[in-house]
């Protein structure tokens, strides 16, 4: 935990930015429903999360490279070549909104060298009442991307989650991350975490989340629950935040990931994502 990693002015700017992105003021974003000038409460109520905001927001790109966060990433990875940003998300979680079921991030974003690290930045005061992050300390150590099973717990929007009993955990194993605005939690891509429903009457639980890995790792990720097994075997759409890209001379950086606003059906769709494309599907996409 890095207390006060982001100063108040950065926190307020990020809160304003999610409104601007979710009303298409930073460029076209898929899934946007709210119009420019809509009341912030209306915009936030229509938005579960914005994915890849750094694609349209210079502020988000800048804030992913904040010095104290990058120093923590560098210490965690011990990576001499560099660190690359793979993904950003801005969560809103209005009062009454459900949480996200237990998972570890490597399940969704696989890295070849197990170097995935998350930065979870609180933009509001975060606790159990408004659906703060909960983690199982030490659950990253086996380095297993635990399988998902159906989730029918109404506290969560997710259609699937990790059965904590499989990893030898119980409800008492979960530890809440109580955070003040601007605090950043840095954790392994294998750490089991979740968030429960926002049961407060009038509090938001906004967060700015980024995922990084070492610059030399190959990431066979297609951002839809599938592995890239026919292409280069590496997602080459990233932002280098420190050091060098060792593949710069042999594999071009591509612009393939597009920002979108997530609604409440996102996890249900992800749970039934199709398998790898066949040759005919690939040709049609091209």
pLDDT band for 275, please (50, 70, 90 cuts). very low
Least confident of 43-52, 53-62, 65-74, 214-223: 214-223
Mean pLDDT of 129-149: 93
In 10 A of CB 123, how many CB atoms?
25
Is 17 part of a structural domain of the chain? yes
pLDDT band for 269, please (50, 70, 90 cuts). very low
Is 76 part of a structural domain of the chain? yes
pLDDT band for 23, please (50, 70, 90 cuts). very high
Is 228 part of a structural domain of the chain? yes
User: Of 40, 87, 93, whose CA–CA distance to 207 is shortest?
Assistant: 93
Q: What is the pLDDT of residues 142-151, one digit of tens each?
A: 999 998 999 8
**Above pLDDT 70, what percent of the chain?**
88
Query: Which backbone phi and psi does 15 adopt, to 5 degrees?
Result: -65, -40
Maximum mean pLDDT: which of 203-207, 245-249, 262-266, 274-278: 203-207
In this prediction the pTM is 0.89
Please report the pLDDT score of residue 278 as a whole number. Answer: 41
Is 278 part of a structural domain of the chain? no
Mean pLDDT of 183-200: 96
Is 1 part of a structural domain of the chain? no
Please report the pLDDT score of residue 280 as a whole number. Answer: 43
User: Is pLDDT at 264 greater than 60 in this prediction?
Assistant: no
Please report the pLDDT score of residue 165 as a whole number. Answer: 86
User: Is pLDDT at 43 greater than 70 in this prediction?
Assistant: yes
Helix (H) or strand (E) holding 282: helix 279-285
Is 283 part of a structural domain of the chain? no
Is 31 part of a structural domain of the chain? yes
Mean pLDDT of 20-40: 90
Please report the pLDDT score of residue 34 as a whole number. Answer: 82
| Residue 51 structural domain | 8-271
CATH code of the domain in which 19 resides: 2.60.120.620
Maximum mean pLDDT: which of 74-88, 216-230, 266-280: 74-88
| Structural domains counted in the chain | 1
DSSP characters for 67-101?
A: HHHHHHHHHHH--SSEEEEEEEEEE---TT--BEE
User: Is pLDDT at 285 greater than 50 in this prediction?
Assistant: no
Is 41 part of a structural domain of the chain? yes
pLDDT band for 232, please (50, 70, 90 cuts). low
User: Is pLDDT at 238 greater than 80 in this prediction?
Assistant: yes
User: Of 100, 94, 89, 90, whose CA–CA distance to 42 is shortest?
Assistant: 94
């Amino acid at each position: 935990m890095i207390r006060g990693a982001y100063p108040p002015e950065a926190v307020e700017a990020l809160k304003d930015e999610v409104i601007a992105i979710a009303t298409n003021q930073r460029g076209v974003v898929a899934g946007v429903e709210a119009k420019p000038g809509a009341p912030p409460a209306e915009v936030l109520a229509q938005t579960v999360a914005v994915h890849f905001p750094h694609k349209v927001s210079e502020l988000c790109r800048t804030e992913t490279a904040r010095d104290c966060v990058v120093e923590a990433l560098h210490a965690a990875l011990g990576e001499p070549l560099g660190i690359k940003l793979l993904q950003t998300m801005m969560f809103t979680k209005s009062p009454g909104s459900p949480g996200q079921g237990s998972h570890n991030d490597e399940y969704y974003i696989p890295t070849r060298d197990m170097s995935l690290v998350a930065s979870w930045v609180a933009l509001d005061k975060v606790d159990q009442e408004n659906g703060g992050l909960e983690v199982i300390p030490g659950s990253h150590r086996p380095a297993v991307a635990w399988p998902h099973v159906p989730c029918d717990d109404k506290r969560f929007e997710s259609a699937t989650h990790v059965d904590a009993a499989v990893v030898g955990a119980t409800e008492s194993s979960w530890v809440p991350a109580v955070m003040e605005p601007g605090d950043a939690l840095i954790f392994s891509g294998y750490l089991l975490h979740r968030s429960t429903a926002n049961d407060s009457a009038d509090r938001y639980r906004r967060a700015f989340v980024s995922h990084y890995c070492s610059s030399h790792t190959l990431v066979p990720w297609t951002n839809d629950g599938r592995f890239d097994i026919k292409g280069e075997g590496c997602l080459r759409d990233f932002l280098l935040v420190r050091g060098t890209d060792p593949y710069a001379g042999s594999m071009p950086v591509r612009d393939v990931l597009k920002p979108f606003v997530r609604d409440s059906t996102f996890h249900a769709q992800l749970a039934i994502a199709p398998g790898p494309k066949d040759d005919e599907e690939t040709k049609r996409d091209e």
